[in-house]
Chains A and B, each alone.
Chain A
Amino acid sequence: MTASAQDFENNPLGKDTTLEDVLDGFEFLDDWEERYAFIIDLGKQLPEFPDDERREENYVHGCQSQVWLIHHHDEATGKLYLLIDSDAIIVRGLAAIILVALNGKTPRDLLATDIDELFEKLDLFRHISPTRGNGLRAMVGKIRDIAAEAA
């Protein structure tokens, strides 16, 4: 099955789970174990990714893990919806944080969102910095490209 508009809009990340939830959640976590347990749990909220969308054009290159990204631009509301998948659990969690910040926004709002700042606030910046080969940077780059094209 390919992803329907409904599948995109049902993604809880950015809708039911908001940026405030994530920021509040992080505030009460003391040590790295709790923080990563929280990140891993967030990753479990990624909706199922349609198998037939695992195609070359949806593959995010530059990742140690496999990362897939598809989008749906709702003409009526102007909002951009995203689905992401990865075979690495922590990358899934970090992708969930990215979705919480960017999913379901208009391209203009999306482009105005500073993901680096968010990751710095969460003390996760090293994961998104260009020195880490985990592909989050490539993922964010691809999302911004999609938004720029849709804007």
Chain B
Amino acid sequence: MNDLAMAKPTHKAGFDVTAARRDFPILGQQINDKPLVYLDNGASAQKPIAVLDAMDRYYRQMHSNVHRGAHTLGDRATSAFEGARETVRAFVNAGSTEEIIWTRGTTEAINLVANGLAGRLKPGDEILVSQMEHHANIVPWQMIAERTGAKVVPVQITPEGELDLDSFNSLLGDKTKILALTHVSNVLGTINPVAALIEQVKARGVFTLIDGAQAVPHFQPDVQALGCDFYAFSSHKLFGPTGIGVLYGRKQLLEEMPPYQGGGEMIERVSFERTTWNVLPYKFEAGTPAVAEAVGLGAAIEYLNGFDRAAMEAAENRLLERANELVETVPGMEIIGTAKQKVPVMSFKIEGLHPSDIGTLLDQQGIAIRTGHHCAMPLMDFYGVPGTARASFAFYNTVEEVEQLFTALQKVQRLFA
């Protein structure tokens, strides 16, 4: 048993944000002579010491290529790497580690599935997405639609930023072959009722993919309870390293799907006459994988497992609540995305100001937010805005930071007055 995948639970019942913040060295710095207030977690989250240490220890003590087996370091690396896979399996409650494929991120995971399902599409077939998807859950489908003659059809949303179920029901039909839906909107924070929709389409034999990139930083998905065929997410938004992500896929489908990329690791036997594929999950993991990153992601999940997740979620929700209370203190501020079920993400606009103006002057005050189209141009079109400003919170943010954001926004508004 390696000790890498076993980053110890350090926090117990309840949630102490001050203690949690000490785990994230980057949060302690000054930006423009002000204490950093990091509210761009939706773009990428910061990393706890547990992750940094796990990767450091991996490189210092165990690195070698995996699955080669001729020496001790190779065994250590493989065991750390596969240990991380098991950690991820438990995190999403998949039935088996064969169903956990390492990818470079959510984007690659969705491309893998799109390519894998392309052979099952014929002209006129429909791929149902939604108006609120990230480009990563639109463009790969458009690319295979182009190849196969299938069509990408967007489910409409309501002005509040919820899926329009009437639109969904009217678009779901005999031609629907794939439903590719985000679990949580990166712009609006909306939590979509994916379990009910999956259940509804499964009876029709529709393949389902859920983009979990923005969900996993806030709550733990259960792929068996959801009943989806595929679930994708990225490590870097889940407090793990960049460069690695996860595709959960239902075993039977993964076995039927053709490999995505060819190369080392993914083969069973290669000859010029006939090459055969390796077993799952390796069939989809061509080339030397991101071993240290997998170990880092495993450590991130173990780190999260050390918390009382319910208390943590409650603390996050308190952040959004406080933000909503303060909106009226900034005249002309409007929240985009007011769904009933939301993660703590706040997209907004302020009358007369361009999002980039807001972002620049918040940065002067040490506050990091994201501005722009958030890789969701169809959604920007829906709201008729060039972009939004977005504050996205993580569990390590404090109510005081939320209040600082609004004080800073008031200052921004005074400057432009």
A residues sitting closer than 8 Å to B (CB atoms) are 32-33, 36-37, 40, 64-66, 87-91, 127, 133-134
Contacting A64 at CB < 8 Å: which of B353, B355, B416?
A: B355
In this assembly, does B386 line the interface, its C-beta being within 8 Å of a C-beta of chain A?
yes
B52-60, B153-161, B186-194, B357-365 - interface stretch: B357-365
In this assembly, does B32 line the interface, its C-beta being within 8 Å of a C-beta of chain A?
yes
A18-B200 Cα distance, complex, nearest whole Å: 67
**A64 lies within 8 A of B371 (CB):** yes
Identify the 9 closest CB pairs spanning chains A and B, nearest first.
A88-B354, A32-B364, A64-B356, A88-B356, A89-B357, A90-B357, A64-B372, A65-B356, A90-B360
A88-B357 Cα distance, complex, nearest whole Å: 6
Contacting B364 at CB < 8 Å: which of A36, A66, A133?
A: A36
In this assembly, does B203 line the interface, its C-beta being within 8 Å of a C-beta of chain A?
no
Closest A-chain residue to B373, C-beta based? A64
In this assembly, does B122 line the interface, its C-beta being within 8 Å of a C-beta of chain A?
no
In this assembly, does B217 line the interface, its C-beta being within 8 Å of a C-beta of chain A?
no
Rounded to whole Å, the gap between the CB of B389 and the closest CB of chain A is: 11
**B416 lies within 8 A of A33 (CB):** no
Contacts of B32 in A (CB 8 A): 32
10 new A-B contacts at CB < 8 Å, known A64-B372, A89-B354, A91-B354: A33-B415, A36-B361, A36-B364, A40-B416, A65-B386, A87-B354, A90-B357, A90-B360, A91-B357, A134-B356
What is the total number of residues of chain B having a CB less than 8 Å from a CB of chain A?
16
Which of B32, B353, B360 has the most A CB atoms < 10 Å from its CB? B360
B residues sitting closer than 8 Å to A (CB atoms) are 32, 353-357, 360-361, 364, 371-372, 386-387, 411, 415-416
A64-B389 Cα distance, complex, nearest whole Å: 12
A42-B219 Cα distance, complex, nearest whole Å: 47
**A36 lies within 8 A of B372 (CB):** no
Assuming the contacts A40-B416, A90-B360, A133-B372, asked whether A33 and B353 have C-beta atoms less than 8 A apart, the reply is: no
Closest B-chain residue to A91, C-beta based? B356
Which of B364, B386, B387, B415 has the most A CB atoms < 10 Å from its CB? B415
Which of A64, A87, A91 has the most B CB atoms < 10 Å from its CB? A64
A40-B415 Cα distance, complex, nearest whole Å: 8
Contacting A37 at CB < 8 Å: which of B354, B356, B371, B415?
A: B415
A40-B354 Cα distance, complex, nearest whole Å: 13
A36-B415 Cα distance, complex, nearest whole Å: 8
Closest B-chain residue to A89, C-beta based? B357
Contacts of A133 in B (CB 8 A): 372
Contacting B386 at CB < 8 Å: which of A33, A36, A66, A127?
A: A66
**A89 lies within 8 A of B416 (CB):** yes
Contacts of A88 in B (CB 8 A): 354, 356-357
What would 10 A/B residue contacts be, using CB atoms closer than 8 Å? Answer: A33-B411, A36-B415, A40-B416, A64-B371, A65-B386, A87-B386, A88-B354, A89-B353, A90-B361, A91-B356
A137-B201 Cα distance, complex, nearest whole Å: 48
Closest A-chain residue to B387, C-beta based? A64
Contacts of A134 in B (CB 8 A): 356, 360
Closest B-chain residue to A135, C-beta based? B356
A127-B32 Cα distance, complex, nearest whole Å: 14
A65-B371 Cα distance, complex, nearest whole Å: 10
**B354 lies within 8 A of A65 (CB):** yes
Contacts of B387 in A (CB 8 A): 64
Contacts of A36 in B (CB 8 A): 361, 364, 415
A67-B411 Cα distance, complex, nearest whole Å: 26
A54-B350 Cα distance, complex, nearest whole Å: 24
Rounded to whole Å, the gap between the CB of B44 and the closest CB of chain A is: 15
Contacts of B357 in A (CB 8 A): 88-91
A37-B360 Cα distance, complex, nearest whole Å: 13
Contacts of A40 in B (CB 8 A): 415-416
Rounded to whole Å, the gap between the CB of A125 and the closest CB of chain B is: 14
